[in-house]
Amino acid sequence: MRIVDIKEMSVGISSSMRNAVIDFSEMTVSVVAMVSDAVVDGEPLVGYGFNSNGRYAPSEVIRRRLAPRVLAADPDELLDPAGLLEPAQVAAAAMRNEKPGGHGERAVAAGVLDMAAWDLRAKLENRPLWRTIADRVGNDDARPAVPVYAAGGYYHPRGGTSALVDELSGYLALGYTDVKMKIGGADLATDVARIEAVLAALPEGGTLAVDANGRFDLRRAVEVGGALESYDLRWYEEPCDPLDYAAMAALADVYEGPLATGENLLSSQDALNLLRHGGMRPGHDVLQMDPVLSYGLVDYLRTARHLTRHGWSLGDCWPHGGHQFNLHIAAGLGLGGIESYPGLFEPFGGFADDEPVHEGIVTVGDGPGIGFERAARLEPVLDKVRTS
C-alpha cells in the first residue's frame, strides 16, 4: 500500500471559554486526511488526524514541510516488514531536514500526521487502534475501558460562580464523577470561593482538580498552594511556567498534595527533563503530556520508556486533549485515564456516539481505527477535508 495524498484544512473551534491565560474565540485546528490506495468496499482507506485544543492549526508546517516529505518518500520506506504502514517511518520521513530543538508548532503538526497514520494503520489491520497499540507494547492486560474526568470550569464571561457550578454539575449528570476547574484568572479569595462552591456540589467519591495554566511565578504558586492544601484536591495543575522544572521541584518540596503538569511539554526530551529536574513524585503526581501536541504516539512511546526508567507507572499519566485518539492510547498502554471536555471544542472534542461516559469510565467502541466514523458530529468536517 501507499499514501497517495495528504489533505489539510484549518477549521475554527470558536468558543466563548477562557482560562487563566488565553481565550479560545480565535482557536483553530488542523484536520488532515491521509488517503491510501488500499480499498475496502470500493472506497479508499483514509486515516484522519486533528490537533488538540490550545495550540493553533499548524497548517503551514503540515502543508509546506511535513506532508510533502511523506509524499515524496519511497513508499516502501513507510512500511513495516509485513507491508503495513509504519507510523514511526512516516514520522521519520516527515522530520527530514528539521533541526533538533524548537518543539512548537512543528510538534503539533507531526502529532496531527501521527494520528492520521495510526488511524490508517489500524484500519488496514481492520481492528480498533487500542488493540494495535497493546500488541505493539506487549500489554496483555489492555482493556477498552478508560477513566475520564471532565475538564472545564472556565471563567464564564457572565454568570460567575453559579454558572461554574451549573457547568460542572452538568458534567456529573452526564456520567462523570471527577471534574477540573480553572484557577488563577481571579484573585485568590474568589478562586477559593469558587473551589468551595464546586466541592459542595460534588457527590460522594467525586474529586476536583484545579488548573492554573502556568500563570504563577514560584512565590505565588507556593502561596496559592498553601490556600489549596486543606481541600484534598485531586491535583494542582501547571502552577508555573511548564518548562520551569526548578520551580516545580521547589513547589513539590512544600506542597503535599498531588501536582500535575505536562500538556505544554511538546516532546519526549522535554518530558525527560521534567522527570530529571522537576522533582515530581512517581505514584503521587500526575503527568499530562498530550501525544497529539508532542510529535504523536511515536514520540509518546519514547516518553513511556523514559517514565518506566525513572520509576513512574503509566498509570500516573492522564493526557490532556479530550479526543478519541487519546482514548485508544490510554486503553492500549494502560494509562491512568484521560481528560475530557464535554461539549467543548466541538466537533473535535469528545468520543464516538457509542462511547458514553458511565461512572467516570468510557468504554471504547468497536470498529476499525480510531472510530471517528462513529461520531456523527465529525462526519461533515472529515468529508469536507477528504474531498477538498
Q: Which H or E element spans position 4?
A: strand 3-12
Q: Strand 3-12 vs strand 361-363: parallel, antiparallel, or unpaired?
A: unpaired
CA gap 347, 29 in Å, rounded: 10
Interhelix angle 129-137/296-309, rounded to 10 degrees, is 40
Q: Strand 207-211 vs strand 236-237: parallel, antiparallel, or unpaired?
A: parallel
Least CB distance to a second copy at residue 102 (A): 4
320 is known as an active-site residue: yes
Q: Does 91 bind a second copy (CB under 8 A)?
A: no
Neighbours of 49 (CB within 10 A): 29
Q: Does 11 bind a second copy (CB under 8 A)?
A: no
Q: Tell which residue, 98, 93, 95, has the closest CA to residue 79.
A: 93
Q: Which listed residue (45, 107, 259, 307) binds a second copy by CB under 8 A?
A: 107
Using the rule CB under 8 A, give the single segment among 104-112, 282-290, 337-345, 365-373 that binds a second copy: 104-112
Q: Which listed residue (33, 265, 297, 335) binds a second copy by CB under 8 A?
A: 265
Q: Does 54 bind a second copy (CB under 8 A)?
A: yes
Site string (115-144) toward a second copy, x via CB under 8 A: ------------------------------
CA gap 340, 117 in Å, rounded: 23
Cell triple for 57: 492549526
Q: Strand 145-151 vs strand 338-340: parallel, antiparallel, or unpaired?
A: parallel
Q: Does 264 bind a second copy (CB under 8 A)?
A: yes
Contact 329, 323 (CB under 8 A): no
Q: Does 223 bind a second copy (CB under 8 A)?
A: no
Given 103, 123, 180, 182, the catalytic residue: 182
Least CB distance to a second copy at residue 271 (A): 11
Q: Smaller CB distance to a second copy: residue 86 or 244?
A: 244
Using the rule CB under 8 A, give the single segment among 93-101, 140-148, 162-170, 326-334 that binds a second copy: 93-101
Q: Does 58 bind a second copy (CB under 8 A)?
A: yes
Q: Does 180 bind a second copy (CB under 8 A)?
A: no
180 is known as an active-site residue: no
Least CB distance to a second copy at residue 376 (A): 30
Q: Name every residue whose Cβ is closer than 8 Å to that of residue 6 and which is 6 or more positions away in sequence.
A: 32, 33, 34, 35, 62, 67, 70, 71, 113, 116
Q: Smaller CB distance to a second copy: residue 46 or 266?
A: 266
CA within 13 Å, CB half, 367: 15
Least CB distance to a second copy at residue 202 (A): 28
Phi, psi of 260 (to 5 degrees): -140, 145
Using the rule CB under 8 A, give the single segment among 77-85, 94-102, 145-153, 310-318 that binds a second copy: 94-102
Q: Cell 509518546 appears where?
A: 300
CA gap 346, 349 in Å, rounded: 5
Neighbours of 64 (CB within 10 A): 11
Q: Does 110 bind a second copy (CB under 8 A)?
A: no
The site for a second copy (CB under 8 A) is made up of 21-23, 26, 54-56, 58-61, 64-65, 96-108, 213-214, 241-246, 264-267, 269-270, 272-273, 276-277, 293
**Residues marked as catalytic:** 182, 320
